[in-house]
Structure 1
Amino acid sequence: MPLPSISPSAAAIDAAGLLALVDALEAHPGIEMHSFAIARAGRVVAEGYWAPYAAERPHLLYSVSKSWTATAVGVLVDEGRLALSDPVCRDLPGVDFAALPARWQQVTVGDCLRMATGHDQEAWLWGSDESGVATRPLLDSGLDPMVARILAHEPEHEPGTHFAYNQVATYLVAAAARAVAGTSLVGILRERVLEPLGVPELLWKTTGSGAELGFSGSFARTRDVLALAQLYLDEGRVGDRQVLSPEWVECARTPSGLVNPDPGGPDWAQGYGCSFWSSRHGYRGDGAFGQFAIVLPQHRIAVATTAETGDMQAILDAIWTHLLPAVDRAVDRPGDPAADTAADTALAERLAGLRIAPPPPLPFAGGQWSRTSGDVAQSYSAARVRPVEPGGGWELTLTRDGTDLTLAVGAGAWAESEWRADGIRLPLVAAGGGTGDGGFAAQIRLVETPHTVHLRATPAPPGGAGGFDLSWSLPPLHGPDPLRQSARYA
Structure 2
Amino acid sequence: MMNKTSIPVPELPRCMPEEQGIQSSAISAFLTRIKESQLALHSFMLLRHGHVVAEGWWAPYSPERKHMLFSLSKSFTATAIGLAAAEQLLSLEDKVISFFPEETPGNPGPRLAAMNIRHLLMMGTGHTSDTMEEMMKEADGNWVRAFLQLPVDREPGSHFLYNTGATYMLSAILQQVTGQTLLDFLHPRLFSPLGIINPVWDYCPRGINTGGFGLSITTEDIARFGQLYLQKGMWNGRQLLPQEWVAEASSLQIENGDGKPDSGDWSQGYGYQFWRCRHGLYRGDGAFGQFCIIMPEQDAVVAITSGTQQMQEVMNAVWELLPAFNDTQAELEQQPDAAARLADQLRTLAITPPVIRSFSAWESAVNGQTYQLESNGLQIDSLAIAFGDNEARVTLHDQHGGCQELILGRGAWASSQVRLMPGPAAPDAIMSSFTWTTEDMLQLTLLMVEQPFIFTLEITFSEQSLTLTQSANVGMGEQEPVTIKGRILA
TM-score (norm 1): 0.88
- Amino acid in the other structure paired with 2:175: R
Which residue of the partner structure matches residue 320 of structure 1?
A: 319
Q: Structure 1 residues 353 and 93 mapped into 2: Cα distance closer, same or farther (>3 Å)?
A: farther
Which residue of the partner structure matches residue 224 of structure 2?
A: 227
Which residue of the partner structure matches residue 341 of structure 2?
A: 346
Which residue of the partner structure matches residue 169 of structure 1?
A: 166
Per the TM alignment, residue 261 of structure 1 is displaced from its structure 2 partner at its CA by: 8.4
Q: Secondary structure at the match of 2:95?
A: coil
Q: Structure 1 residues 372 and 434 mapped into 2: Cα distance closer, same or farther (>3 Å)?
A: farther
Q: Does 1:40 align with 2:42?
A: no
Per the TM alignment, residue 474 of structure 1 is displaced from its structure 2 partner at its CA by: 1.3
Q: Secondary structure at the match of 1:410?
A: strand
Which residue of the partner structure matches residue 30 of structure 2?
A: 21
Q: Secondary structure at the match of 1:471?
A: strand
Q: Secondary structure at the match of 1:192?
A: helix
- Amino acid in the other structure paired with 2:129: Q
* Count of residue pairs the alignment pairs up: 459
Q: Secondary structure at the match of 1:303?
A: strand
Q: Hey, what's the Cα distance between the residues in 1 that align with 2:82 and 2:472?
A: 37
Q: Does 1:252 align with 2:242?
A: no
Per the TM alignment, residue 22 of structure 1 is displaced from its structure 2 partner at its CA by: 0.5
Q: Structure 1 residues 344 and 470 mapped into 2: Cα distance closer, same or farther (>3 Å)?
A: same
Q: Hey, what's the Cα distance between the residues in 2 that align with 1:260 and 1:377?
A: 39
- Amino acid in the other structure paired with 1:149: A
- Amino acid in the other structure paired with 1:288: A
Q: Hey, what's the Cα distance between the residues in 1 that align with 2:56 and 2:181?
A: 32
Asked if the contact 1:445/1:452 (under 8 Å) is kept, the reply is yes
Asked if the contact 1:372/1:467 (under 8 Å) is kept, the reply is no
Q: Secondary structure at the match of 2:294?
A: strand
Q: Secondary structure at the match of 2:304?
A: strand
Q: 1:425 aligns with which of 419, 424, 427?
A: 427
Q: 2:20 aligns with which of 5, 8, 11?
A: 11
150-159 or 50-59, larger mean C-alpha shift: 150-159
Q: Structure 1 residues 353 and 440 mapped into 2: Cα distance closer, same or farther (>3 Å)?
A: same
- Amino acid in the other structure paired with 1:406: E
Which residue of the partner structure matches residue 486 of structure 1?
A: none
Per the TM alignment, residue 329 of structure 1 is displaced from its structure 2 partner at its CA by: 8.2
Asked if the contact 2:160/2:254 (under 8 Å) is kept, the reply is no
Which residue of the partner structure matches residue 473 of structure 1?
A: 473
Q: Structure 1 residues 16 and 347 mapped into 2: Cα distance closer, same or farther (>3 Å)?
A: same
Where in structure 1 are there 5+ consecutive unaligned residues? 133-143, 481-490
- Amino acid in the other structure paired with 1:91: F
Where in structure 2 are there 5+ consecutive unaligned residues? 1-9, 481-490
Q: Hey, what's the Cα distance between the residues in 1 that align with 2:315 and 2:466?
A: 44
Q: Hey, what's the Cα distance between the residues in 2 that align with 1:249 and 1:409?
A: 46
Q: 2:130 aligns with which of 106, 122, 128?
A: 122
Q: Hey, what's the Cα distance between the residues in 1 that align with 2:259 and 2:130?
A: 12
Which residue of the partner structure matches residue 459 of structure 1?
A: 461
Which residue of the partner structure matches residue 436 of structure 2?
A: 434
- Amino acid in the other structure paired with 1:351: L
65-74 or 410-419, larger mean C-alpha shift: 410-419
Q: Secondary structure at the match of 1:266?
A: coil
Q: Map 1:377-456 to 2 at 5 A.
A: 377-387=377-387, 389-390=388-389, 392-402=390-400, 403-419=402-418, 422-456=424-458
Q: Does 1:310 align with 2:305?
A: no
Per the TM alignment, residue 47 of structure 1 is displaced from its structure 2 partner at its CA by: 0.5
Q: Hey, what's the Cα distance between the residues in 1 that align with 2:104 and 2:461?
A: 61
Which residue of the partner structure matches residue 484 of structure 1?
A: none
The superposition leaves residues 416-437 of structure 1 with CA deviations (integer Å, 9 ceiling, x where unpaired) of 1112673523111101122332
Per the TM alignment, residue 255 of structure 1 is displaced from its structure 2 partner at its CA by: 1.0
Asked if the contact 2:373/2:380 (under 8 Å) is kept, the reply is no
Per the TM alignment, residue 152 of structure 1 is displaced from its structure 2 partner at its CA by: 1.4
Asked if the contact 1:371/1:467 (under 8 Å) is kept, the reply is no
Q: Structure 1 residues 237 and 250 mapped into 2: Cα distance closer, same or farther (>3 Å)?
A: same
Asked if the contact 2:428/2:448 (under 8 Å) is kept, the reply is yes
Aligned-residue sequence identity (percent) comes to 32
Q: Structure 1 residues 459 and 286 mapped into 2: Cα distance closer, same or farther (>3 Å)?
A: same
Q: Does 1:67 align with 2:78?
A: no
Which residue of the partner structure matches residue 102 of structure 1?
A: 110
Q: Does 1:158 align with 2:155?
A: yes
Per the TM alignment, residue 25 of structure 1 is displaced from its structure 2 partner at its CA by: 0.7
Q: Secondary structure at the match of 1:359?
A: coil
Which residue of the partner structure matches residue 138 of structure 1?
A: none
Which residue of the partner structure matches residue 236 of structure 2?
A: 239
Per the TM alignment, residue 121 of structure 1 is displaced from its structure 2 partner at its CA by: 2.2
Q: Does 1:54 align with 2:62?
A: yes
The superposition leaves residues 226-278 of structure 1 with CA deviations (integer Å, 9 ceiling, x where unpaired) of 11111100000111011100000011101113234899961011000000000
- Amino acid in the other structure paired with 1:242: Q
Q: Structure 1 residues 200 and 407 mapped into 2: Cα distance closer, same or farther (>3 Å)?
A: same
- Amino acid in the other structure paired with 2:282: Y
341-350 or 408-417, larger mean C-alpha shift: 341-350
Asked if the contact 2:391/2:409 (under 8 Å) is kept, the reply is yes
206-215 or 218-227, larger mean C-alpha shift: 206-215
Per the TM alignment, residue 97 of structure 1 is displaced from its structure 2 partner at its CA by: 7.7
Which residue of the partner structure matches residue 282 of structure 2?
A: 283
